[in-house]
Amino acid sequence: KSYGLQVASLAGVPKEVVNNAKRKLQQLESTSHNRAPETTPLQSTLDLAEPQTDPAMELLHSIDPDELTPKKALDLIYQLRKMSK
């Protein structure tokens, strides 16, 4: 058994990414039992499209905490909380 997904989760990989990987793994495992091994590389069978970015995460990455005033930090917390709903 592989523990890669558990390690990814512990390493802080976003839950959405881990959940997508779990679904894809289940999909691959269920189809691999029903047919002979494929000759194409695994990468060609996976959907490796760029994940959609979360606006809240983009906002967090754009913040320079050393430049925030206490009021601005509080405003950002409220803004992030509103975005999460």
The answer to whether residue 49 scores a pLDDT higher than 70 is no
Contact 32, 52 (CB under 8 A): no
Give the chain's mean pLDDT: 80
For residues 51 and 61, the model is more confident at 61
Dist CA 22 CA 81 (whole Å):
28
pLDDT at 1: 57
pLDDT at 44: 54
The answer to whether residue 41 scores a pLDDT higher than 60 is no
User: DSSP label at 34?
Assistant: S
In the chain, what percentage of residues exceed pLDDT 90? 18
In the chain, what percentage of residues exceed pLDDT 70? 74
